[in-house]
Every structure is written in structure tokens, then in C-alpha cells.
A and B are shown apart, each in its own frame.
Chain A
Amino acid sequence: MARTRYAPDRGLTARMTATMFLLGLVSVAFIALIIGIGAATHASDAVIVLFALVLGGGFAIGSLFYSDKIALSTAGAVEVTPQQQPELHGIVDRVCALADMPKPRVAIAQSPMPNAFATGRNADKSVLCVTTGLMNRLNTEELEGVIAHELSHVAHKDVQVMTIASFLAIVAALLVRFSFYGELFGGGRGRGGNNNNAFPILAIIMLVSIVVYAVSFLLIRMLSRYRELAADRSGALLTGQPSALKSALVKVSGDIARIPTRDLRAAQPLNAFFFAPALSLRGGKSLATMFSTHPSLERRLAELDKIQRQLNQGR
């Protein structure tokens, strides 16, 4: 049995586990609290909670099933055949053969912004999209690094994981909205014996939902950053060329900062699945890091340095 040079990163695994555990803890606490409130108020307000859960679940399932179509149409991308883009397809073919995974559909978005994303609810239905800006700026090996990173997202099932992780935040956000309108319109109307109870209970639900939303939002962002590092890692190990990915990251990050704001706003909804985010937050650096979906460039480069050393260990 040959030894492996591809040891897992225990620190990253531990941090990701802790984040998911906290996210799970918040959901359980949230649901327990809502059930508690429902029981205390003879369930008259539980209807909106149920409604929010169903609607939130619908959103999550919908976005999971239509993620490829939504992402492609938002980015204005078109699928390309191997005849149209033999080189791009050649790279994807080879990376897929190395990783032993089915080949995704390949699409190109006409955009000067250098970026790439992969989406779809499973490996068979996934689609990989690169922008023309990315293809113009990167050479073949750098493009391969980016594609390996995106295909690692597919292999890690990041679309499913992040959709499930976001479910709670969606429900909490819906509850904030519902209880807000409930207070506006429901408070004045007659509600039988519960009338004088309704106001404070809706306020409590709203408060709890706001807190849950804020906490889970931060945790989801944190999880997203860890998933990016994990994809960087798997991609670099797959191609054996962490340096190519590093140089791609440097090129892309430098370019993105120079793109005008109009493009940035237009691309914002897709950020979570992009290779490098097109949004740079102003203000305190630590705050920007907390809210960001992607780790900082320095962090990503440092992690890739580690992989480089690991691949090059003596025999």
C-alpha cells in the first residue's frame, strides 16, 4: 500500500464541524422556542410559523431544483459545445477524468468580469460556467486551476449543503416579515379571547427571529468561507499545481477590484457560488471578513502554500 501525499486538513475539518454544529444548535433552539411560544399561546400564532416553514422549504427546494437555470440566466450564460470551445472542453474533460466524476455541462457568460461558478443540485445535473473575462486573462493552467476549484464545489455538493444551511435563515427572515405585518394588521382586529395576548407574542417572535437571522447569517458566511478553502484545497491537490491556482487568484482579485460598480451590483446575487466575490466591503477589515462569503486573498494564498509544501515532501 503506497503512502498518500493527500492527507486531509484536520484544522479545516474541525472548524467546519464546529460551524455546522453551531448552526444546528441555533436551529434546534429556534424551533424549540417557537414551539414553546406556540404552546404558551394555545397555538393561535403557530399558523404563521407553519406558513413560514412551508414557504421557506418551498424556496429552498425551488432554488435547489432550478439552481442551474436560475444561475445561468442571471449570469446571461449560454451552453457551449465541444466544437465551439474545444480547449475549454478539453480542460474540463481532463480534470473530470482525473477526479473520476461525470462531466458537467459547460457554459460561457459574456462578461468582462473574470469569474466562474458551478451549480446544479447534483453531479449529474451540474453546469460549469466561466466568463469571457476569465478566459481572456488566464492561461491554460490557471484556467484549469479555477475549473478544478469549481468542480470541487460540485464534488463537495456545496449547492445542497449551503441551501440546507440557509433554510433556517430564510424561515427566520420570513417570520420577521410576517410578524411585522401581523402586528400592523392583526393587532387591531378581533381575535376572540386571545386579542390582548397577540401583540406581545408577535413582538417576541419577531425579536427571536431577528436574532436567529443575524446569528445564522454570520454562521452561513463562515461556513461558506470554509467551503471555499476546502474547494481550493481539493482543486489544488487534484491538478497538483497549487501555484497555478495562486496565480489565477492573484490575477482575478486584482482585476475585480478595478471593475466599475454597476457591474458589481448586477452580479451580487450570484456571489455565493462565484470563484472570487465581486463585492468588496468598505470599512473595518475584520468586519468585512466576517460578512464575506469568500476568505481573504491572503488566507487563500497561505493555505495553498501549505498544500505546496505537502505535495513536495521528501520521499
Chain B
Amino acid sequence: MGFLDTLLGRTKPVPPKLDDLFALPSAAITLEAGAGFKPTGSGSVCFRPVEGRSFSDVQKEVQELLDMSSGKEGGLPVEVTKDTYGFTWLVSSHLSDQVDALVTDLHAVNSSLVDAGFGPQLLCTLVAFRDDQERRLALIYLYKRGTFYPFAPLDGNNRDNALELQVKGVIGDDLKWEPDLGRWFPVWGAPGL
């Protein structure tokens, strides 16, 4: 924020960074080779809905678009859930080896919202992974930062920080990691995880 904006009490809404999301498929391969975590094929986009008709129209269009694309390949329809914080999650499910298709779906949501002028409402994208011991892991992409962080929930609102740091080490430079650990916020009970 510039000096003048501070002086005048203005904040510019932060536009989302979309491109770094495409690093995900190659990182998924590294993750599977290095730590045994396989993608579950499900991923979700989380955004803050805006009240009023304009936004709900856009959301409906996005849903129809995704439903159409999933119908072609015999995939599951897109699931919409609202979490306790009032954020909307669009969950897209694919076969576990179709990370590319999943990322394309997620990107379709992003670009639709951005085109309609609602880009600043995007919060994060989540892609779920699992290993042989059924340990859960998510890679979360922060739109405003263009960075990733790992999230490994355990039972009862605890996080497996050791696993998260291990995953970060395994994937290494394949993804742009969020350097500020204070922004690795937990998403308990996120749909699709």
C-alpha cells in the first residue's frame, strides 16, 4: 500500500495470483516418489461469497461449467459446501491419477471469478493426499500470496507439524512455499480433505 493510500485510508483489494497453481502436478509426482503420499483426486477452491444476485449468478455459472466437464469423463459432479466461517468450497473430484485435470478444473473456477470481477474473494485452493497408513495431507495454495503450505490434520484439532515440515522438505523447490509460518493457518474439516 502506498503512502497516499495510507494517508487517505484506502485499501486496494488484492488480486489473486493464479499461475503458480500449475506447479502442482509435478510436485504431486515428487511427493509420491519421496514420501508415499498419493493424490486422492479431490481438490477444492475456497472463496468468500459476496452477498447479492451478481455473485450468486457467477457461482451458478461456474458450477454448471464444472458439471459439464466432469460429466464428459464420467466423473463426479461438483459439490458445493458452506463452512462454519461462511466461506464457500467448490469440491471437484477426479480419479487419483488425474491431477492435471483437477488443476484445470480449479483454474476454471479461479478464472471465472476473476473475469466477473470477484478475484479478490478467492481465499485458497486445497488438494488432498493420502498415504498407505491413511494419513491425511493437504497442499494449500494461497491466492493472495501465490504460495503453498502443507496441512496435515490429526484427530481432535491437532496438526502433524513434523509431517508438514517433512513434506515441505521432500517437495523442496518444486513449489513456492509460504515463508511466513504464521500464515499456515489450519482448515479443520475442509471439504474434500
Contact = CB atoms under 8 A, between A and B. Distances in A.
Nearest to A223: B9
A140 B84 CA distance: 8
Nearest to B9: A230
Contact count band on A: 35 or more
B124 to A, nearest CB: 7
Contact of A2 (B86, B114, B142, B186): B114
Interface stretch (A29-37, A185-193, A238-246): A238-246
B1 interface: yes
B120 interface: yes
Interface in A78-118: 82-83, 86-87, 89-91, 93-94, 96-100, 102-103
Interface in B173-193: 180, 182-183, 185-186, 188
B157 A86 contact: yes
Contacts of A20: 7
A313 B118 CA distance: 12
Contact of A234 (B10, B145, B183): B10
Contacts, number: 133
Interface string B5-30: 01111111110000000000000000
A226 interface: yes
Contacts of B168: none
Interface stretch (A4-12, A196-204, A248-256): A4-12
A41 interface: no
A157 B6 contact: yes
B8 A16 contact: yes
B30 to A, nearest CB: 25
A96 B50 CA distance: 17
B9 A97 contact: no
Given A140-B84, A161-B7, A240-B49, A98 B54 contact: no
A90 to B, nearest CB: 6
Interface in B46-82: 48-55, 57-58
A102 B85 contact: no
Interface in A154-169: 155-158, 161
Contacts of A2: 114-117, 119
B117 A97 contact: no
B123 interface: yes
Interface of A: 2-6, 8, 12-13, 16-17, 20, 82-83, 86-87, 89-91, 93-94, 96-100, 102-103, 140-141, 144, 152, 155-158, 161, 226-227, 230-231, 234, 237-244, 308, 311-315
Given A4-B117, A103-B182, A315-B57, 15 more contacts: A4-B13, A13-B10, A17-B8, A87-B84, A90-B85, A93-B183, A93-B186, A96-B183, A97-B124, A97-B144, A100-B145, A103-B185, A237-B13, A242-B51, A312-B52
